[in-house]
Structure 1
Amino acid sequence: MRTVAVIGAGTMGIGIAHTFAQSGFRVQLIDVSKEQLENGLHTITANLDRMVSKEKISDSDKENTLANISNFIDIPTGIKNADLVIEAATENEAVKLKIFKQLNDHCSSQTILASNTSSISITKIASVVENPERVIGMHFMNPVPIMKLVEIIKGYNTSTEVTNSITKLAEKLGKIPVTATDYPGFVANRILMPMINEAIETLYNSVAGVSEIDSVMKLGMAHPMGPLQLADFIGLDVCLSILEVLYNGFKNQKYAPCPLLVNMVQAGKLGLKSGEGFYNYSESKKAEYVSSQFL
């Protein structure tokens, strides 16, 4: 497995592309937006520069990484000759199903198809593919080049061979793979999102303010970041989408999104990406956050 196609040049897609390219894989990065691809490559370059400045990698490592990445604006061309395709599009079931239908039409039946989804059913995604045993979840954590965990999610039909292959691949990347069964939210978000939602409920019920809630969790529970700040960094729209998957999947009221979260997303207050969520973020604050991930 030497060539990997990554669909989506957003935060997760470029992080996945960066990680594979730095590990010596040829990466075919795909996005419908040429501007998004250019911005993605610029971000990867900037992140590599930070790693060089901190002496984590050499200049030649940086140049080799960038040389391993090629950009494409359409899926049929971008996935050509890929041994593995990783979909890292927006966390929307309809979007992912549309992409996997295209992969089914244009990929070899031997190509492994993975989704970076953080909550959507791998079994449902695989239902539009003729050989569902080759579809698997490969859920990276953000920032991908730094975070060690990769959740490996087995769909109902995912083969043992594909699971073993992807597990070994994650280890080659220097990651620690953890296998999970395909149920809403898997492990990470089934536990994390209800905690974030409860923090929002605590604010909604005026039990304490934003900084107070985050301080309690940082100082009392040794969390490196408070849940409300973490929600801002994940994206409040992403948090809402995951909670809706959990709520619809389990039909359990404990997963129902807090009305405050729903209102904030409807108002366009999405956190770091929009400049305002539970906290306000200037452009310098955004840059400071991104830079801090590569210290």
Structure 2
Amino acid sequence: MDVRRIGVVGLGAMGAGIAQVAIEAGFDVVGREVSDELGTAATERIGHFLTRKVEKGRLAQDARDAALGRLRTTTDVSELVDCDLVVEAIVEELQAKRALFVELERFCRRDTVLATNTSALSVTEIAAATASPERVVGMHFFNPAPLMPLVEVVRGELSSDDAVATALDVVDRLGKVAVPCHDTPGFVVNRVLIPLLNDCVRVLDEARVSPEALDAAMTNGAGWPMGPCTLLDLVGIDVHVHASEALYEKLRETRMAPPPRLVAMRNAGLLGRKSGRGFHGY
């Protein structure tokens, strides 16, 4: 399919980032939020980031204005009817996503490709809520979407070749790097990264090192561009714990379970950059 208009459902940090990437690439975007206030806030946030690119000389003012003109927001799912591709970026809860996909199927055209941005849930289980699972795929963007080049394109058990091809084509037109994979817990990156970060946190206590020392060890000794504690703070302790719990539920591998230290931090509101304090202060 020649995708021209993209719908994005959920305009939080991830959804707004996806919408920004799409309008910059020349797509018309319809963003859906649960209230006009949230839709307006997302538009203003996207406009702010585009303005910063203008100030840094990375985007012309007229290109910034044209991109923002390609975005409109709504609270009505039925207004996604003319979208060729809809990307879901709502809360990471299976039942909420399944309910949304039932609604999307009711209002979107029969040939519209429906994509979920889930990072840890099963694309197949989300698609099973619909009567047309063949048009459901995963498009897992990484946060922040405007900066991170990777998108995992996930084939569910019943995803059609056409739906997957459409998703891959869109990723290419967005200027991103697509990694096609099948629907397994954690897909590619999280299947490797989550247990690895959990191991790093366990080392904090076992080796009796500080977060600063562990970050220094991994950046200077293993060549990581960012230390594990800094990375966890960037991702969000709560986000990591949620994804870790989801993977442990599926795989029952000890390394997948979030370490008690991370759970305690999550419960205490030490979420990283978003809360001003995690392993480090911000």
TM-score (norm. length: structure 2)? 0.95
1:37 aligns with 2:26: no
Provide the rounded CA distance (Å) in 1 between the counterparts of 2:241 and 2:35: 25
- Secondary structure (helix, strand or coil) at the match of 1:224 reads coil
Q: Which residue of 2 aligns with 1:11?
A: 13
Deviation, 1:206, is: 5.4
Confirm whether residue 147 of structure 1 aligns to residue 152 of structure 2.
no
**The residue matched to 2:178 in structure 1 has which SS?**
strand
- Structure 2 residue aligned with 1:173: 174
Unaligned regions of 5+ residues in structure 1, if any?
282-295
Counterpart CA distance in 2 for 1:30 and 1:235 is: 24
Contact 2:199–2:255 (CA under 8 A) maintained in structure 1? no
Secondary structure at the residue paired with 1:6? strand
Per-residue displacement from partner, 1:203-257 (whole Å, max 9, x unpaired)? 2435211111111111112222111111111111110111112111112112111
In structure 2, what is the Cα distance between the partners aligned to 1:36 and 1:202?
41
Indicate conservation of the 8 Å contact 1:204/1:260, yes or no. Answer: no
For residue 228 of structure 2, what is the aligned residue in structure 1? 227
Structure 2: distance between partners of 1:265 and 1:146: 26
Query: Is 1:249 the counterpart of 2:254 in the alignment?
Result: no
Deviation sequence 1:121-177 (CA, Å, 0-9, x none): 000000001110100000112221222211100000001111111111111111111
Which of 65, 78, 92 is residue 76 of structure 1 equivalent to? 78
2:74 maps to a residue whose letter is F
| CA distance in structure 1 between the partners assigned to 2:60 and 2:150 by the alignment | 24
Match of 1:162 in 2: 163
Q: How big is the shift at 1:94?
A: 2.2
Deviates more, 1:137-146 or 1:110-119: 137-146
Kindly indicate whether residue 219 of structure 2 is the aligned counterpart of residue 218 of structure 1. Answer: yes
What displacement does 1:120 show? 0.8
Please state how far the C-alpha of 1:28 moved relative to its aligned partner. Answer: 0.6
- State the distance in 2 between where 1:228 and 1:37 align: 33
Distance (whole Å) between structure 2 residues aligned to residue 202 and residue 27 of structure 1: 45
What is the CA-CA distance between 1:76 and the residue it aligns to? Answer: 2.6
2:233 touches 2:272 (CA, 8 Å); kept in 1?
A: yes
Deviations 1:26-48 (A, max 9, x none): 10111113333222222211211
| Structure-2 change in CA distance of 1:28 and 1:176 (3 Å) | same
Q: Does the CA contact (< 8 Å) of 1:180 and 1:186 recur in 2? A: yes
Do the aligned residues in 1 keep the contact of 2:198 with 2:255 (CA within 8 Å)?
no
Name the amino acid aligned to 2:180: T
Distance 1:101 1:263 in 2: 36
Q: Moved runs in structure 1, 4+ residues, more than 6 A?
A: none
Partner of 2:128: 127
Question: Partner of 2:105 in structure 1?
Answer: 104
Q: Where does residue 139 of structure 2 map in the other structure? A: 138
Paired AA for residue 65 in structure 1: A
> 2-side partners of 1:186 and 1:173: how far apart?
21
Quick one: percent identity of the two aligned structures? 38
Which runs of 5 or more structure 2 residues have no equivalent in the other structure?
none
Q: CA offset at residue 275 of structure 1?
A: 1.9
Q: Distance in 2 between matches of 1:262 and 1:74?
A: 37
Q: Distance in 1 between matches of 2:274 and 2:101?
A: 27
Q: How large is the RMSD of aligned CA atoms in angstroms? A: 1.3
TM-fit CA distance, 1:104: 2.1
